[in-house]
A and B are shown apart, each in its own frame.
Chain A
Amino acid sequence: MKLEDLYGDVIIDYAKNTKFKKHIEHNHEAHGKNTSCGDEIELEFNLNGDIIKDISYTGHGCIISQASTAMLCEALKGKNINSALNIINEVIKMSRGETFDKKTVDSLEMFEDISTLPMRVKCFSLSWHTAEEKLTEVKENDES
């Protein structure tokens, strides 16, 4: 992955944009930690039924993890849990270098080559795994 692709303007802009980096009124939160570097991310969800009415994040991490988390918030806001989980699933597949649905992944496709950087996949996918775990838990609780 070339420097310009990994640290292009769009990604740096996402990392620096604080639109989703804040605390919100929420009824669910999830904590994720990257043990190899100590990066931590806190996701807050405001769920209305199974709709993600609002979502935000706080924490610290590198540009890849911050940009990826901001894009996660943008992608999941307004979605219901099932379609959110579907997006997450496709994005994680992409990060692993597996075949994925480009339409579902949408603009996150700019991270397609992250799979070629094994040390950075964790930076990219931390928030996605954190969200997946929380939303799956909420979904299972609702169903039971």
Chain B
Amino acid sequence: MSLFQKYRNDFPILDKNNIIYFDNAATTLKPKRVVDSFEKYYNNFNSNVHRSSHKLSAESTKIYENSRKNIADFINAESTDEIIFTKGTTEALNLISSSLIRSDLISEDESVLTTTLEHHANFVSWQQYGKIFGKNVHYYKNNNGIFNEDDFIKLIDKKTKVIAFTALTNVTGQVTDIGKIINSARNINKNIIIVIDGAQYVPHFKTDVRKYDIDFIAFSGHKMLGPMGTGVLYGKKNILKKLPPYMFGGEMIDSVTTEDTTFNIIPFKFETGTPDVAGFYGLSEAINYMNETGTDKIHERVKELTMYALEKLKTLDFLDLYGTLDENQHSIVSFNVKDIHPHDVSQFLNDSDGIAIRSGHHCAQPFHKELGIYSSCRASFNFYNTEEEIDTLYDALLKIRRWFK
């Protein structure tokens, strides 16, 4: 039995459904203790935060802010002021693109550079806010589904004020050399602002915002064993202070008159409305679980599984595989079965062997367009998956081939 087989018991959903869950890039399964934290929160502490002075409110506020501290430590942020809670990566990326583009940090002759490998959240948000507020947005176009860091760096010049890119693409699982990009970008333009989509990266790699000198990184709780509806935008304090708020409402306010309003300090300037306290309590519990399991162990295990799957699927000549197809790929393997639509493949895998994969354009249409395909199948792994499950996928793909011949 693999060392990791015992962790499967922590995920009751695996017991209840006879499934092979290879859709971890969409959302991971949740360990029981994360699910239990909801019950614990609502049965013991339920209250709004930062508002009332009664006992429950104090407890809730403590829980909420302790979660912030836990998350700040997880990515080695200097201070909890730099951790903004959002609904997910999408909201975090909308927040930062909207606020940066509306700020005076980007002038009209400067520009944002992003890539065609991005999830729509990190592509459409820059494109649209750029259009609305008259700021320039440029795009690095990938070559056959591969992110070439050198080609990307060549597009950076003194007028590039922001670079926004994924640290691990959700289509092929290619890991970006973020250290190389950040160093090169800073050499060209010392004050360039680095925005990273970390949705697929943070769950699998030790993320150290200070080591890499990252200005902003967005990620989601539900892709790292935490609850849906929780996300984080990390942002450097000195830049956050200069940015306008993203949403307006309660809690984010300093003082309001009919003439004008001044805003709360960071991070509260960017958080308004009643937050999902139970959700962030759960995310904090997910982080405890990952820390106790060992983030490096999780990383190694997922690496093993990814390589195992890649090597196995490479032997099937009726598959088109996408990405670097080497150790630069992590947690994700994307493919098409020749002449069979991805929806039919995923439906078949589900019906024949209970295998859950994703099919479609994975919210990355420009990426698929450059690959010359409309959509693809994506199998994505986490540490509770096994080699035997990958063998079943392999056998099922052979079955598909025979069935639709």
- Tell whether A and B belong to one assembly: yes
Residue of A nearest to B345 (CB): A62
| B343 contact set on A, CB distance < 8 A | 37, 62, 64, 119-120, 123
| A37 adjacent to B374 (CB under 8 Å) | yes
CB within 8 Å: A-B pair count: 46
| A123 contact set on B, CB distance < 8 A | 343
Stretch at the interface among B229-237, B347-355, B385-393: B347-355
| A38 contact set on B, CB distance < 8 A | 360-361, 365, 368, 374-375
Q: Mark B347-378, 1 if CB is under 8 A from A, else 0.
A: 11001100000011100010010000011000
Stretch at the interface among A2-10, A22-30, A49-57, A69-77: A2-10
| A63 adjacent to B341 (CB under 8 Å) | yes
| A39 contact set on B, CB distance < 8 A | 374
| A63 adjacent to B374 (CB under 8 Å) | no
Q: How far is the CA of A62 from the CA of B359 in the complex (A)?
A: 11
Q: How far is the CB of B368 from chain A (nearest CB, A)?
A: 7
| Chain B contact residues: helix, strand, loop or mixed | helix
Q: Mark A34-72, 1 if CB is under 8 A from B, else 0.
A: 001111000000000000000000001111100000000
Q: How far is the CA of A111 from the CA of B359 in the complex (A)?
A: 21
| B352 adjacent to A3 (CB under 8 Å) | yes
Known contacts A38-B374, A38-B375; is-contact A2 B341 (Cβ 8 Å): no
| A3 contact set on B, CB distance < 8 A | 348, 351-352
Binding site for B on A (CB under 8 A): 1-3, 6-7, 12, 36-39, 60-64, 117, 119-120, 123
Given A7-B404, A38-B374, A62-B341, 12 more pairs with CB closer than 8 A: A3-B348, A6-B351, A7-B347, A7-B403, A37-B361, A37-B375, A38-B375, A60-B374, A62-B344, A63-B344, A64-B344, A117-B347
Binding site for A on B (CB under 8 A): 340-344, 347-348, 351-352, 359-361, 365, 368, 374-375, 403-404
The 4 closest A-B pairs by CB, nearest first: A62-B341, A62-B343, A3-B351, A38-B374
